Amino acid sequence: MLLFIIILGIIIGYRIKVGKGLREVKAKRTVNIEDLLNNLEEEKADDAVQTAVAQGAAPPTIKSLKITVPECGGCQKNVQLTESLDVAKAPPLSHTTCSESAYMRGGGQKIFSYSLFLNGASNLHDSRRKYFEGVALNAAVIAELFPGWSMRVYHNLTGADAICELACSVPNLDFCDVSANPMVGDLGTEILPTLWRFMPLADAQVQRRSEYS
């Protein structure tokens, strides 16, 4: 019971911090999401170096890795990693729970996880108008407040153009199509949509996670 309370407190703490940051960013009418995203790689590198120096250790080697996004026609994007994928030691793709492109980030991933879904009566165009700007904004806030963390979105919006637009351009964002989950196949028929965001708990490459709906 005590462990549950501690875990719940940590999750609530992350939620409050991200929510506060999101409100601050939204309150600034001059905020430029693109600028925040462009600064992501610099922030990750600076944070890792400062942490190492504070602990008296040698600065970690920051590696720039070009990730291919096969789910979106093979587009590529550059991300900064402190641990790149070692194919010889990596778990099989079937032991992970997002996508091939997320798999290429390697082990020790720290992520925020979300569910984004439509029911039968929803309209895909309306979904883009209402939600995808929020996805981009959340990714920017996470990049600003949590350097080194990435954002996963478990979704059933197959065919939405905005998914590939963001997946190919936002370094810290991965989309996970629940109809093609590497571990269980069609996740949408196995688990309630509100629970998709907890799939990283079973992911062999994830070190730390925080789940949001």
Distance CA 5, CA 44 (A): 31
**113 dihedral zone (left: phi>0; alpha: psi -120 to 50; beta):** beta
Q: What backbone torsions phi and psi does residue 157 show, to the nearest 5 degrees?
A: -100, 40
CB-based contact 98:174 (threshold 8 Å): yes
Crossing angle of the two packed helices 40-54 and 133-145, in degrees rounded to 10: 30
Bridge-based pairing of strands 75-81 and 63-69 is antiparallel
Note the pLDDT tens digit of each residue in 69-125.
998 988 999 886 655 556 567 789 999 999 999 998 888 888 999 999 887 545 555
- What pTM was computed for the model? 0.68
Amino acid at 107: G
Which letter does DSSP use for residue 130 in this model? I
CB distance 200 to 97 below 8 Å: yes
Backbone angles phi, psi at 93, to 5 degrees: -55, -35
Report pLDDT for 191.
Answer: 86
DSSP bridge pairs for 174:
152
DSSP 104: T
Which ranges of the chain have pLDDT less than 70? Answer: 1-63, 80-88, 120-130, 209-213
8 A C-beta contact, residue 174 and residue 75 = no
Contact 141, 112 (CB under 8 A): no
Listed in sequence order, the DSSP H helices in 39-189 are 40-54, 100-103, 124-127, 133-145, 161-167
| pLDDT for residue 29 | 36
> Residues with Cβ < 8 Å from 136, sequence gap 6 or more?
33, 37, 166, 170, 173
What pLDDT score was predicted for residue 106?
Answer: 85
Cα Dmax for the chain = 56
Predicted pLDDT of residue 65: 78
Three-state SS for 178? helix
- Locate 99 and state its tokens: 């996508």
Could you state, in order of their start, the residue ranges of all structural domains in the chain? 2-212
